[in-house]
Amino acid sequence: MSRRRKSKKRIILEDPIYNSTLVSMLINRILLKGKKSLAQHIFYQAMKNIQESSQQDPIEILKKAVVNATPLVEVKSRRVGGATYQVPVEVKIDRGNTLALRFLIKSARNRPGKNMIIKLGNEILDAYNNTGNSVKKKEEIHKMAEANKAFTTIRF
Domains of the chain: 21-72+91-131 (1.10.455.10)
Cα–Cα distance between 68 and 123 in angstroms, integer?
A: 12
For the segment 119-124, the average pLDDT, to the nearest whole number, is 95
Cα–Cα distance between 42 and 94 in angstroms, integer?
A: 24
By DSSP bridging, strand 73-80 and strand 83-90 are antiparallel
pTM (2 decimals)? 0.89
Q: What is the pLDDT of residues 123-132, one digit of tens each?
A: 999 999 999 9
Q: Residue 95: its pLDDT value, please?
A: 94
Q: What is the pLDDT of residues 101-111, one digit of tens each?
A: 999 999 999 99
Q: Residue 151: its pLDDT value, please?
A: 87
Q: Residue 3: its pLDDT value, please?
A: 80
Q: Residue 81: its pLDDT value, please?
A: 87
What count of other Cβ atoms lies within 10 Å of the Cβ of residue 49? Answer: 18
Interhelix angle 133-147/93-110, nearest 10 degrees: 130
For the segment 79-100, the average pLDDT, to the nearest whole number, is 92
Of 75, 146, 78, 137, give the one whose Cα is nearest residue 108.
137
Q: What is the pLDDT of residues 14-71, one digit of tens each?
A: 999 999 999 999 999 999 999 999 999 999 999 999 999 999 999 999 999 999 999 9
Q: Write out the H or E segment, with its range, that includes residue 89.
A: strand 83-90
pLDDT at 156 over 70: no
Q: Residue 145: its pLDDT value, please?
A: 93
